[in-house]
Amino acid sequence: MKIFFKIVLFICFFISISSCSQQKEVIEPAMIPKSYIAYKVETSIKIDGDDSDESWEKANWTDVFIDIEGVKIPKYKTQVKMLWDTTYFYILAKLEEPHVWADITKHDAIIFHNNDFEVFVEPDNNSHDYYELEINALNTTWDLFITKPYRELGNYAVNNFEINGLKSAVKVNGTLNNSNDVDKGWILEIAIPWEVYKRSYFQDIVPKDKFWRVNFSRVNWNHTIKDGIYSRKKNDQGKYLPEYNWVWSPQGVINIHEPENWGYVYFSTKTIGEKDHFTIPLDEKIKWKLFELYRKQKRYYKKHQKWMQSLEDLSANEFVIEEKVINPKLENHSQGWNIIVKSPFSGNQLIIRENGKLIIIE
């Protein structure tokens, strides 16, 4: 945590010096989102919680999960593999855990009150309209569609949303809810139908040779055992100890609901066993800067109950990405503002609004 704040302070100091000397700011975020190539499979994968399927054996693991702020190494190891076909997005998660337990059996209950695994998918890369799926070791699920991140101060979760056709299976390497032994962990296998993403994604629903924003989170609790029964551990005041949040692509803050920080999953049309490559597009670096300005505006509004009205106030007259000078434009209106940039890389117009929604005009 201390290391993270030192990094942030250094970046802020550097930006301040650059502004004072009228130098152009070079965009280099403290944490680059992770990326992964998901290859296509020609035959469907049987969802049974077993990772010995030939296709899974050919797929690469993601990097090992890290604490959500991107600093601490988690106590237990977590990794994921991804594949796809024209019907499903396949996910395999392997969670190291010496005490595999769960007691929530009701669908759409608050699953993260158990240790769980969570999937977040944002198809159109605008930071709004994304999907969440939580599963515990009993294979109990909670699925949601979220219209806006919770930072917009409202309840934007559609809890009656259902991932119709979802397939999931759990295999415990040990014994579930048995406090008399030590387990190795659990494996979770998931198949999500592409059709469910039509709620917000109106293009060809299967993302062939495209990337979507995706992240995975693992919630883990300190536990106690009484009469052989597991439960979340409480402190001396009777309050639950805080959970651990371990993720694939670090957020920099304790908040998974910032889709602009999620990883990039590229769905290659090459079949598993072939090789493809993916590089995060340069326009994404412009988007990282736009979200930085959005957060700066939000902090100012929270303190002053009004927006900054000029790029000079935002210290954002221009910035540099890959040796290209970017000149944003700020438009103020009765409901807030737009910051607009024309990309020198794609020619697209990139716009971020006061509610944090990103708009791309090709």
Position 201 scores a pLDDT of 66
Phi, psi for 14 (deg, rounded to 5): -60, -45
- Distance from C-alpha of 59 to C-alpha of 267, rounded to nearest angstrom: 13
Rg, Å, the chain Cα set? 22
Q: Beta-strand (E) ranges in 235-307?
A: 244-247, 263-271
pLDDT on residue 204: 75
Note the pLDDT of residue 232. 98
For residue 60, give the DSSP letter.
P
pLDDT at residue 1 in the model: 41
pLDDT reported for residue 4 = 41
In the chain the domains, ranked by start, together with CATH numbers, are: 2-30+282-361 (no CATH), 35-271 (2.60.40.1190)
Q: Which residue matches tokens 């009765």?
A: 334
- Residue 19 and residue 6: Cα distance in Å, rounded? 20
pLDDT tens for the chain, 362 residues: list them.
434 433 333 333 333 333 333 333 333 455 799 999 999 999 999 999 999 999 999 999 999 999 999 999 999 999 999 999 999 999 999 999 999 999 999 999 999 999 999 999 999 999 999 999 999 999 999 999 999 999 998 788 999 999 999 999 999 999 999 999 999 999 999 999 999 998 776 667 899 999 999 999 999 999 999 999 999 999 999 999 999 999 999 999 999 999 999 999 999 999 999 999 999 999 999 999 999 999 999 999 999 999 999 999 999 899 999 999 999 999 999 989 999 999 999 999 999 999 999 999 99
Which single residue is written with the structure tokens 């992770």? 34
**44: number of CA atoms within 13 Å, CB side?**
11
CA gap 339, 361 in Å, rounded: 13
